[in-house]
Copies of this chain bind each other. A is one copy, B any other.
């Protein structure tokens, strides 16, 4: 009975340890393959090959290619939120220190999977569901930073919401560029300049 239901949910639930391992191997391989080839050229066959699993097995745990990316995205987001909340909330101090923590956080968060955001943007026009997931995450993060700014006495900007949005995006994309490119400018220096820029902005000097 060929059912028409297609979602991002897994097709089969693993019941043996062996199966769980296979699932993980597939996800790990997918992360590498997507990072290397992009989404379109990161074929399911390549993923299966890298995971040393047959394509048949792959399709026992994921109903389609999108579902693999979706799972990757969700995991990435969850992990990011966790470490962020963990570190920033409990670090008072100078404004510059706070900003630096923010930047460091972005760096750490993308170190393990530096290409994921690019991949998700690539796949976005193909899957509205995926797009929504990403957007939801973004809003949460901005809100979190907004609260952080609200609590710091040295922050002097016109509107906290706008400021939060601006710096979250700026820090995120610059970090991405930093990690993706093997650049002439050393990482530490660029990071320092980024911190300076954001800090001066938030402090509102004239």
Task: Select the residue from A39, A162, A177, A194 with max chain B CB neighbours within 10 A.
Answer: A162
Contact with B along A137-178 (1 / 0, CB 8 A): 000000000000000000001110111011001100110010
Q: Are B162 and A193 in contact (CB under 8 A)?
A: yes
Chain B residues near A159 (CB-CB < 8 A)? 189, 193
Chain B residues near A200 (CB-CB < 8 A)? 197, 200-201, 204-205
Q: Are B170 and A36 in contact (CB under 8 A)?
A: no
Stretch at the interface among A51-59, A81-89, A121-129: A121-129
Chain B residues near A40 (CB-CB < 8 A)? 38-41, 122
Q: Which residue of chain B lies nearest to A183 when distances are taken between CB atoms in the complex?
A: B165
Q: Are A197 and B198 in contact (CB under 8 A)?
A: yes
Chain B residues near A163 (CB-CB < 8 A)? 193
Residue A185 interfacial (CB < 8 Å): yes
Q: Are B125 and A38 in contact (CB under 8 A)?
A: yes
Residue A118 interfacial (CB < 8 Å): yes
- A128 nearest CB across to chain B (Å): 13
Residue A6 interfacial (CB < 8 Å): no
Q: Which residue of chain B lies nearest to A35 when distances are taken between CB atoms in the complex?
A: B125
Chain B residues near A194 (CB-CB < 8 A)? 166
Q: Are B174 and A169 in contact (CB under 8 A)?
A: yes
Q: List the 7 closest A-B pairs by CB distance, nearest first.
A: A40-B40, A197-B201, A205-B205, A200-B200, A122-B122, A38-B125, A173-B173
Q: List 20 A-B contacts (CB under 8 A).
A: A37-B125, A39-B40, A40-B41, A40-B122, A122-B122, A158-B193, A159-B189, A161-B185, A162-B185, A166-B174, A166-B194, A169-B173, A169-B174, A170-B173, A173-B173, A197-B198, A197-B200, A197-B201, A200-B205, A205-B206
9 other A-B residue contacts (CB within 8 Å) besides A163-B193, A170-B170, A197-B197:
A40-B40, A162-B189, A162-B193, A173-B173, A193-B201, A197-B198, A200-B205, A201-B201, A205-B206
